[in-house]
């Protein structure tokens, strides 16, 4: 371990929670570490590469305090998505769907505000969701199993608490989506760049 190295920096580089790194290695005093000590860490790996997969198991890795990776190949093979999900906060929400039309927003196609979200963005299928910004701040990146990646860009008078409204272009698609209760939602870390193109 070279001068200036800290557990916090190491945890940040590995995308591992600092408290997990400390507890997994039974570190009593994070300020007193031995140079050359090997730390164990674990992250969630998804069961497959599907865009709708969720973390199902932990993979183990090792890293030395000098900053170089150990012999385990799992630290290099884990996907960015798996790391992002392992760093995410999980909440359970009621999901509904809406469109830009007057039945959902009260705006007519002739209105200058038609299709414009409360944050000034153009509502996009595969990107936009409406949230209660007191619960999920605007700009928050989300992963919803069975739906895909989304960004909190809008709100509405009926969107309160743990309620997420998913934007669709088609009224029939929104109606078919219905109301889905107690659905798992991942609040993704800010560093994760979500692939929004081609989402449902």
Q: How far is Cα 131 from Cα 141, in angstroms, rounded to an integer?
A: 12
| Domains of the chain listed by start with CATH number | 7-85 (no CATH), 89-187 (2.40.40.10)
Q: How far is Cα 153 from Cα 119, in angstroms, rounded to an integer?
A: 6
Cα 197 to chain center, whole Å?
A: 16
pTM over 0.75, yes/no: no
- pLDDT tens track for 121-166: 999 999 999 999 999 999 999 999 999 999 999 999 999 999 999 9
Q: How far is Cα 20 from Cα 68, in angstroms, rounded to an integer?
A: 19
Structure-model confidence comparison of residues 200 and 36, the more confident one = 36
| Of 192, 185, 8, the residue nearest 84 (C-alpha) | 192
CA pseudo-torsion sign 60, 15, 127, 136: positive
């Amino acid at each position: 371990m070279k001068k200036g190295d800290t557990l916090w920096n190491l945890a940040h580089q590995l995308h591992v929670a600092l408290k997990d790194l400390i507890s997994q290695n039974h570190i009593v005093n994070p300020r007193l570490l031995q140079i050359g000590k090997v730390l164990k860490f674990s992250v969630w790996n998804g069961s497959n590469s599907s865009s709708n997969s969720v973390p199902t198991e932990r993979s183990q890795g090792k890293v030395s305090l000098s900053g170089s990776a150990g012999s385990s190949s799992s630290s290099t093979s884990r996907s960015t998505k798996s790391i992002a999900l392992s760093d995410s906060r999980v909440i359970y929400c009621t999901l509904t769907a809406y469109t830009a039309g007057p039945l959902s927003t009260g705006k007519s196609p002739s209105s200058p505000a038609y299709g414009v979200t409360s944050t000034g963005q153009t509502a996009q299928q595969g990107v936009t969701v409406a949230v209660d910004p007191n619960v999920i701040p605007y700009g928050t990146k989300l992963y919803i199993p069975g739906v895909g990646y989304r960004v909190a860009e809008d709100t509405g008078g009926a969107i309160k608490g743990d309620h997420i409204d998913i934007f669709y272009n088609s009224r029939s698609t929104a109606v078919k989506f219905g109301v889905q209760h107690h659905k798992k939602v991942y609040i993704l870390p800010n560093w994760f760049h979500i692939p929004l193109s081609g989402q449902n």
